[in-house]
Amino acid sequence: MPRTPRTPGWARAFLRAQARSWGIAPQTVEAAELALSELVTNAVRHARAPRGREIGVKAQWDGTALRIEVADAGPWAELDPAAHQPDDEGGRGLVIVAAVAARWGVERRACGIGKAVWAEFPGGGGTA
DSSP code for 92: -
What's residue 83's pLDDT?
59
pLDDT at 128: 37
Q: pLDDT value at position 93?
A: 78
Contact 22, 61 (CB under 8 A): yes
Q: Residue 59: enclosing H or E segment and its boundaries?
A: strand 56-61
Mean pLDDT by 10 residues, the chain (128 residues): 86 95 95 95 79 86 95 70 57 83 88 86 65
Architecture of domain 7-122: 2-Layer Sandwich (3.30)
- pTM, to two decimals: 0.83
CA 119 to chain centre: 7
CB 84 within 8 A of CB 91: yes
β-strand pairing of 115-122 with 56-61: unpaired
